[in-house]
Amino acid sequence: MRKKSIYLDYQATTPVDPRILDAMRPFFAEEFGNPHSSSHIFGNNSARAVASSRAKVAQLFKCGAEDVIFTSGATEANNLALLGVFGQRSPIRKFVTSAIEHPSVLEPLEQLKRRGAEVVVLPVSRSGFVDTAALAHELDGGPTLVSVMAANNEIGVVQPLREISDLCRRAGAWLHTDASQLVGKQPIDLASVHWDLLTLSSHKIYGPKGVGALIASYAVREVLSPLTFGGGQENGLRAGTVPTSLVVGFGIACELAADLLSSEPASLEVLRDRFIAELQALNMPFEINGTMQARLPNNLSVRVKGIDAITLFAMAPGVAVSSGSACSSASAHVEPSHVLKAIGLSDDEARSTIRISVGRFTTIEQVVNAASQLAAGVAKLRELGAIA
């Protein structure tokens, strides 16, 4: 069944691009050296590969290579950004975030609240935008860190980052952005928009799982406390051997993302819009969650009145889509998504939501086939009287 399944869950993770896999291969075998072993050629070759990848990551975001701290992924990068700026060396005591952040932002902030930090969670509109007037109100000149994601992993809405960045700069607040979903979809230029901390993940951009980065400005690095101890790696900010093969894959993933930035987003949008057109042509009744005006080109989040998404998936097993974020559906009890609730949906509306995300290897044929399977599944549920 897996072979016949059509994968439309690229926001959960992407398959590794074969070009990336080829580049990684030698670093599992003949170039296996520890990049921190500076006394021999094995280590030095590995260190050179890590340095070259660091430069590739930096090039995509127009920052300095020294700003890049490799981590195990976006979850760790978010934890390091938030928990790391609440140390003795840092003045930050107030955090402002949004209600639709990934749990790897919201849960560390819960921890910080217990440790005495002030945490403000901003509301979002029905369209999915963070309330920037409320943000401006919270920026009172005190040492504050604002954490707002670039693009949402469930509804795909892209936040007005330039406006948020300007507000933070004027108020002297630091800005952290989880950009894991926006990379490769829109340019992110740290030379022209001011950011202090940026979170990245390799497996959202066709690289391997288990690697990502936190980009941190010099001013932040000066006060950032590490979360792991026991090695001086990453300038003392992330102890642990840097996994050369994964980092090499991440570097090539960034290089490919840069090369494809002028063409790939437009192709993804064509596929996504075709999906919408197919559902309409098949008379499948649905409503789109969040605005279409500022949205990732590969995301579609729709609710089908009266259905339960999980029941629909059982009717259309040949389509691999998601009922929300992979992370929330992986937790022990499936609560309605906090993102969908935050934009004002009821529990039933949230449960009737399907997230479809296309990617680099999606074809028009797959889109047409998947749309027809989903529409047939809805028709079958209606026949069975399973639609409320």
Ligand X SMILES: Cc1ncc(COP(=O)(O)O)c(C=O)c1O
Long-range contacts formed by 44-48: CB under 8 A, 24+ apart: 46/244
Shortest Å distance, C-beta 31 to ligand X: 24
Say if residue 76 is exposed, middle or buried (CB neighbours under 10 Å; 0-12, 13-18, 19+). Answer: buried
| 380 φ, ψ (degrees, to nearest 5) | -65, -45
Minimum distance, C-beta of residue 156 to ligand X, in the bound complex (Å): 11
Q: Which is nearer to ligand X, 53 or 180 (CB)?
A: 180
Whichever of 98 and 180 has its CB closer to ligand X, that residue is 180
Least Å distance between CB 56 and ligand X?
Answer: 18
Length of the chain: 388
Q: Rounded to the nearest 10 degrees, how much is the dihedral formed by the CA atoms of 228, 117, 324, 153?
A: -70
Helical segments of the chain, H only: 18-24, 41-61, 74-84, 103-114, 132-138, 161-171, 218-223, 244-260, 264-281, 309-315, 326-330, 338-342, 347-351, 364-383
Judge whether 19 and 252 are in contact, CB under 8 Å: yes
Q: Cβ of residue 147: shortest distance to ligand X, in angstroms?
A: 11
Distance, in Å, from the CA atom of 51 to the CA atom of 330, rounded to the nearest integer, reads 35
By beta carbon distance, the residue nearest ligand X is: 73
Question: 185 in helix, strand or coil?
Answer: coil
Rounded least distance, CB 158 to ligand X, Å? 12
Shortest distance, position 11 Cβ to ligand X, whole Å: 6
Cβ 50 vs Cβ 61: under 8 Å: no
Nearer to ligand X (CB atom), residue 186 or residue 373: 186
Residues that bind ligand X (CB under 6 A): 73-75, 102, 104, 149, 153, 178, 180-181, 201, 203, 212, 326-327
C-alpha 322 chain-centroid distance: 15
Q: CB 383 → ligand X: shortest distance, Å?
A: 35
> Active-site residue 327, yes or no?
yes
By C-beta, is 261 or 326 nearer to ligand X?
Answer: 326
What distance in Å separates the CA atoms of residue 188 and residue 337, rounded to the nearest whole number?
A: 28
Name which of 83 and 284 has its Cβ closer to ligand X: 83
Q: How would you list the strands of the sheet with 353-357, edge to edge?
A: 287-288, 299-303, 353-357
* Cα separation, 380 vs 246, whole angstroms: 44
Q: Which is nearer to ligand X, 74 or 381 (CB)?
A: 74
Q: Which one is catalytic: 63, 168, 254, 327? A: 327
C-beta closer to ligand X: residue 205 or 381: 205
What per-residue string of b and e applies to 85-100 under the rule 16 or more CB within 10 Å gives b? bbeeebebebbbbbbb
Q: For residue 356, report the phi and psi dihedrals to the nearest 5 degrees.
A: -115, 125
User: What residues are labeled active site?
Assistant: 327
